Amino acid sequence: MLSLSKESARALALSVVRDVFPSPDAGSPERAAQAAFDYRARKSQLSDRDRAFAAELAYGAIKMRRALDWHLAPFLSEQKALPPAIHEILRLAAYELLYTRADEHATLFEFVNLAKRWGHKGLANLVNAVLRSMLRAGKAEPQRAAFENDDDYLAVRYSLPTWLVRQWRGVFGDEVEAICAAVDEPQRAALVVNRLKTTPSDVIARLALLGIETSPSPIVAESLLVERGTLARAGGGDGAWWPQSESSAMPVDVLGPQPGEAILDVCSGRGNKALQIGARLEGQGSICCIERDERKAATLGRRLGEAGIAASIVAGDATTEILEPARQFDRVLLDAPCSGVGVVGRHPEARWKKQGTDGERMALTQRALLEESARHVYPGGALVYAVCSTDPRETTEVIDWFLSRQNFERGLMPAAYAALLTRDGDVQVAPGVGGRDGFYIARVERRP
């Protein structure tokens, strides 16, 4: 017997997928997967267990969209004529059947009923026939020999856009398949400890009492990696710690702020890196944050206050001359806006929403931000440039362009980063590998 709640979980998953990929003629707003799930889950009466099931289905079907279409294609001769909702129902059902320990009878029964609800009896019969044919054929993985080139094979095998696979191959060479596989796995959660309020060992002990096992990062001293459990069970941390990926904590570690110094944080966002800088200054020195988005700036101010960290916040566009020209700092951090292709593993819909041209467009903004940031570095001071991208147009090409125009040179990286360095001495973190986000970090220093 099928439970009503389980059926509703599948209906919730369908609503989330349709929010992320709305029909062109629906006129409804497009939502991010997490926002869509939060919105739909709040309106449901599902238990926590069924919400988790709905999330698994929705996020999985979104992430594996291209691979699912490949699996369905042999049984779907009228694919182009299908209404969008019916096509999404097929993808969700195929995901459950191919990637989870599904009860096949329950899966078919409930998705066929959903097809009746969103279409008519004929479409429900079609869904039933396609899914049964797929089950009879068994799960067959894509084979290299069947594709014109290896990039297309990997893109279908791991459900990615071909342009992104091609870009990763250009940067990482033979590591490309390991990266494609890794971004399909759950990305590792981590947190940063505010050492103004507590110590990493204290946080490890507090989280252990909640069943959350963590271990120190081998690279960033104040970063803890989640080995088991979910941080959501631990609440907000009250300024003693905050969720932040290990890769995202690396730019401040590379910056190396010291007590007594003046630090400029450009594009501060909601403040993870500003908080990290403040903790490293140990209450000695100063922080100036620039953030364009007023809502993010407000959140930044609140979080700094909760963490007991003093900073000045300037709301405005950092590509323009927003600070006095003579104002200079010991160290400047530029965590620049970017295409975000390094974090596609963390957001299920990201791989389908980004475009291959994003890197070229974002590089223009990054170059403007770098030039403005450079004006405020003391002679002998350091400027750290970071993006959660691995697109060369946003990474090496931006820094090489900058060094060709400015009186700066590359500085030395901390020894802990030796395994992540490029030939030029910049940090390049491969997306997904080791559960890390893809990041690029360059440290340049102003010549005296």
Longest dimension (CA), the chain: 77
User: Of 343, 336, 333, 403, which is closest to residue 363 (Cα–Cα)?
Assistant: 336
> Tokens at residue 129, please?
């026939």
SS3 231: helix
Active site residue 180: no
Query: What 8-state DSSP symbol labels residue 75?
Result: G
Q: Which of 267, 288, 338, 388 is catalytic?
A: 388
Q: Phi-psi bin for 308: left (phi > 0), alpha (psi -120 to 50), beta?
A: left
Q: What are phi and psi of 384, to 5 degrees?
A: -110, 125
Please give the Cα distance from 82 to 37 (Å, whole number): 25
CA–CA distance, 103 with 384 (Å, rounded to integer)? 52
Whole-angstrom CA distances from 267 to 110, 371, 390, 392 are 47, 14, 19, 21
C-beta neighbour count of 216 within 10 angstroms: 15
Locus of tokens 């029964």: 109
- Please name every residue paired with 421 in a beta bridge, in sequence order, or none if there are none: 427
Answer yes or no: are the C-beta atoms of 193 and 222 closer than 8 Å: yes
User: Which sequence positions are flagged as catalytic?
Assistant: 388
